[in-house]
Amino acid sequence: MSMSVTEIRRGLAEGRFSSVEVTQDYLARIAQHNPVLNCFISVTDELALAQARQADADLANGNTQALTGVPIAHKDLFCTDGVRTSCGSRILDNFIAPYDATIIENFKRDGAVMLGKTNMDEFAMGSSNENSFYGSVANPWNIGHVPGGSSGGSAAAIAAGLAPGATGTDTGGSIRQPAALCGVTGIKPTYGRVSRYGMVAFASSLDQGGPFARSAEDCALLLQTMAGFDPRDSTSSEQAVPDYSAALGDGIEGLKIGLPKEYFSEGLDGRLAAVIETAVDELRKLGADIKEISLPNTSLSIPTYYVVAMAECSSNLSRFDGVRFGHRCADPVDLEDLYKRSRGEGFGEEVKRRILIGTYALSAGYYDAYYLKAQQLRRMIKDDFQTAFDSVDLILGPTTPEVAFEIGAKTDDPVSMYLQDIYTISLNLAGLPGISLPVGFVDGLPVGMQLIGNYFDESTLLGAAHSYQQVSDWHLQVPELAR
């Protein structure tokens, strides 16, 4: 099955099939393919069918909302009332959330059906989905390769036809990078556009939720449900949410798009660069004005990000101590033993590495040298973008420096793994929106192109992506197991 969210909505409205039938089909596909792909940590069969039956009743009564009866999967760090919320970690393996995250509430409000919770790098820390307590996720295009991370389960589920839409989070590229490696579309909104209430935090000043789907058209529908002000989130923006679907037909005639020269230099696989150039030519044919620009502090984004993100994660993860919830070690001899063994047993190696580095960066003797300096560099990176947006409407580049690599290829080289996010991290530091869309293949694996917009200008991003997808069919390509 490879129906889009749009097609399912239309089919349900026209009575060509029921929500129960669609949901059963997806649940059957999950049962068939998840043992190999490992996209889902939890499959909520009974809940999904109950929600589907309610959706069918609502459809029959004309009491419909934006996504009534449409099956959706959620990344397993959104708290979901009565359902395990593990964050891909042993430390939360037994945690049943007592409330819904705002994003979950919004999808329930709009009538969506929840298929389950998708696999992810532990606490969203990773670029390959190999850091999960529940095992690696396989890329549906080649099961020996990674799907990207940390939202790899969501991206792989869309690519494999196990869900038509899914949620993810993006702290340094964790929506856009797996979207690129799995050949689907994923958008990271402006920081503050989507509520973080009930979204288990990795790095609070960087995390942002967003949707995955096959197309920009579907992402517009899902983002419409996700976006909006939430008084329970102090970082949530009160800026009005536009009708994202209404802007899809605006076209890109006369749109100024900048190509940062730093994104097309050493480090980018030349074959990916050629694929991106072909996509740029298509945008020119559609009337876009393409020009070269510079983002001179791009090379500073990796070190800046990994100081800021690790410092914030060391603070956020201090609450997981074996006292209030989550994993607790057996027979602690005293409180210190409880803390040490609960955290030592519950956290994986990558999470431990980041906590230690972050704690070091925040320590009294090194705060000014590392964390404060990183925040100063962060401002310089943000200023680069603002200067660029004085002359262009959008910025374009590759999403990743290479296609999906083999599982295990980079697990012993953290720095090489971190460099997979070289083109995505700076957006999170600046708080800007970005979208990744498929634009071709190299070695039979998908290539993603990233478009970057100005603050709260997701409409232009979605419109430009949609315009490209009207003249290309890369977003319609599916791996063999999804046919």
pLDDT digits (tens, 9 = 90+) for 188-217: 999 999 999 999 999 999 999 999 999 999
Rounded to 10 degrees, the C-alpha dihedral 375/380/382/388 comes to: -170
Please work out, in degrees rounded to the nearest 5, the angle formed at the alpha carbon of residue 354 by the alpha carbons of 353 and 358: 125
**Residue 464 corresponds to which tokens in the numbers above?**
């430009």
Q: How confident is the model at residue 416 (pLDDT cuts 50, 70, 90)?
A: confident
Of the listed ranges 11-15, 293-297, 418-422, the one predicted with least confidence: 418-422
**Mean pLDDT for all residues in the chain:** 96
Judged against a pLDDT cut of 80, whether residue 261 lies above it is answered with yes
Q: Evaluate whether residue 291 is within a structural domain.
A: no
Q: Are strands 71-75 and 113-118 parallel, antiparallel or unpaired?
A: parallel
Q: Please tell me which residue in 132, 174, 314, 436 is annotated as part of the active site.
A: 174
Q: Evaluate whether residue 285 is within a structural domain.
A: no
Q: Indicate if 150 belongs to the active site.
A: yes
Q: Evaluate whether residue 414 is within a structural domain.
A: yes
Nearest CA among 283, 281, 276 for reference residue 253: 283
pLDDT digits (tens, 9 = 90+) for 435-479: 999 999 999 999 999 999 999 999 999 999 999 999 999 999 999
β-sheet with 165-169: strand ranges across: 40-43, 113-118, 71-75, 165-169, 209-213, 185-188, 434-442, 445-452, 394-398, 256-260, 289-293
Q: What percent of the chain has pLDDT over 70?
A: 100
Q: What pLDDT shows up at residue 367?
A: 86
Q: What pLDDT shows up at residue 233?
A: 97
Q: Evaluate whether residue 346 is within a structural domain.
A: no
Q: What pLDDT shows up at residue 312?
A: 95
Q: How confident is the model at residue 415 (pLDDT cuts 50, 70, 90)?
A: confident
Each as own residue / partner, the long-range contacts of residues 20-25 (CB below 8 Å, 24 or more positions apart, any chain) are: 20/49, 20/52, 20/53, 20/56, 22/52, 22/69, 22/70, 22/71, 23/48, 23/49, 23/51, 23/52, 23/71, 23/113, 23/115, 24/49, 24/52, 25/1
Count of structural domains, the chain: 1
Q: Evaluate whether residue 220 is within a structural domain.
A: yes
Q: Please tell me which residue in 86, 128, 150, 301 is annotated as part of the active site.
A: 150
Judged against a pLDDT cut of 60, whether residue 1 lies above it is answered with no
Q: Evaluate whether residue 330 is within a structural domain.
A: no
CA atoms within 13 A on the CB side of 98: 2
pLDDT digits (tens, 9 = 90+) for 138-163: 999 999 999 999 999 999 999 999 99
Domain holding 229, by residue range, is 5-258+390-482
Q: Indicate if 174 belongs to the active site.
A: yes
Q: What pLDDT shows up at residue 308?
A: 95
Q: How confident is the model at residue 128 (pLDDT cuts 50, 70, 90)?
A: very high
CATH of the domain at 210: 3.90.1300.10
Q: How confident is the model at residue 408 (pLDDT cuts 50, 70, 90)?
A: very high
Beta bridge partners of 396: 451
Q: Please tell me which residue in 75, 108, 188, 410 is annotated as part of the active site.
A: 75
Q: Evaluate whether residue 275 is within a structural domain.
A: no
* Residue in the block written with tokens 């393919």: 33
Q: What pLDDT shows up at residue 411?
A: 87
Q: Evaluate whether residue 281 is within a structural domain.
A: no
Q: Is the dihedral of CA 325, 328, 331, 333 positive or negative?
A: negative
Q: How confident is the model at residue 5 (pLDDT cuts 50, 70, 90)?
A: very high
